[in-house]
Amino acid sequence: MKKQAYNPYLPSWEYIPDGEPYVFGDRVYVYGSHDRFGGYGYCQNDYVCWSAPVDDLGDWRYEGVIYRRNADPMNQDGDMYLFAPDVTVGADGRYYLYYVLDQACVVSVAVCDTPAGTYEFYGYVHYEDGMRLGERESDEPQFDPGVLTEGEITYLYTGFCMPDDESRHGAMLTVLGKDMLTIKEEPRFVVPSKPYEKNTGYEGHAFFEASSIRRVGETYYFIYSSVLSHELCYATGESPYGPFTYGGTIVSNCDLFIDSYKPAERPMYYGGNNHGSIVQIRKDWYIFYHRHTNGQNFSRQGCIEKIRFDENGKIPQVMMTSCGANGGPLKGSGIYPAYIACSLYCLDEATMVGGPGEWMDCRFPKITQDQPDGVEGMGYIANMCSGATAGFKFFDCKNVTEIAVRTRGDANGCFVVRTAWDGAPLGVIPLGRNNEWKTYRAPIQIPDGIQALYFTFEGSGRMSFSEFELITGGSGVEK
């Protein structure tokens, strides 16, 4: 790695959820929705693309806007949002972008000669008689397309199924012909929704949304968001048609079910809907997913974790980390931004962000920013009241003797620093009330080795937290 790779992997001012990653040539490209910081709905901005060298996942490049909302003939006034897209390479070598507008029930397609150029509207997925998929009386509405092309056939997976809606039967597979638009085989259901989960193996993890499909060797992995919303699950089959067998949870954006460092049912972040997929980058495999920020549902950021396949092809669940695609822990020295926290919680447990009144509730800390949407700047953690904790994983520590934090706010108290969420305090950093960002320092003895760090505020008032520094051998520089 030429640079350290953090989570979120894009700049703190960028909000790209629903990530679909692909390697084209010597770069990995990520396609997703585009949230607006402080927005009032999902996916309010135009599609953009980011890419990185396959050998440096800490060096992401902005490729620009690849598709605008008003490029679709149904949305010339731009009133509808561009929901989660996916991309596939057709038999002609061109790149095809599949998406659904938020008030539509049909699948739109755009095309481009390059992975991250300007895509042009191409058409709508339709039956041979010209009727659009999703508009026939027997059709279920289309949503969250996931696509896979093999030879001259494209497999299109779609669906959106609220847990109590018996009119939605599950994830659908529709087979398209060489033109990428015309239906060759009509929709069939491949993964059940909650009303139809009984005796299927999907009990408790039935299909909700976020279809994605990948081939790994001779096995097809169908990745989706379950009715629990915060988790990305997978199912496997020997064919694009299935049958697909439930496999398990790959990642949860509140770290539920992880019991290696805390109780399995304890949330460690404010979760919400989830969407993403897996990709092989060089020899390693990763899961792309998203987290929620700003104390609400509509400002989501992409994250990455390394995954592995066991001898049976199963993917063990991975925890959320701050080091993501770094290839290992972060250096145990230097300055780190607080927005890379992978754990964030207070004394009152909450699994989901954005519940009734919650995002305005002063109890809950949140990752936010000062600048408007789309303007470069640094994120930070706001609204840390007494008992609020920000956790970071992992650092390779050696001879850390001092620690510094940068805070502001109408608060008095201290940071208590631990290497486990319920561990013994290793150091205390006194903090004061200050209107502008100010650095506070204190001695600390962090054991050598790979460590997590948890900062818990104890005191009165509300505090914001922008960065911390790990100082080795007493070599820190005053600020």
Active-site residue numbers?
A: 18, 209
Query: CA distances (Å), 157 to each of 142, 220, 241, 247, 338, in order?
Result: 9, 13, 10, 18, 38
State both tokens at 461.
């008032």
C-beta atoms surrounding 328 within 10 Å: 13
Candidates 148, 133, 36; CA nearest to 88 is 148
Q: Strands 389-397, 27-31: parallel, antiparallel or unpaired by DSSP? A: unpaired
Give the type of residue at 148.
L
DSSP state of 132: B
Give the whole-angstrom CA distance, residue 211 versus residue 56: 28
Q: Which residues of 286-318 are buried (b: 16+ CB within 10 A; e: fewer)?
A: bbbbbbbbbbbbbbbbbbbbbbeeeeeeebebb
Q: What are phi and psi of 303, to 5 degrees?
A: -130, 165
One-letter identity of residue 372: P
Give the Å distances, CA to CA, from 230 to 116, 146, 178, 421: 29, 19, 36, 21
CB contact set of 137 (below 8 Å; sequence gap of 6+): none
From the list 5, 3, 4, 10, the residue with the least C-alpha distance to 301 is 10
Cα separation, 145 vs 408, whole angstroms: 44
Burial of 256 (C-beta count, 10 Å sphere; 0-12/13-18/19+):
buried
* CA distance to 135, 303, 448, 467, per residue, from 252 (Å): 34, 11, 29, 25
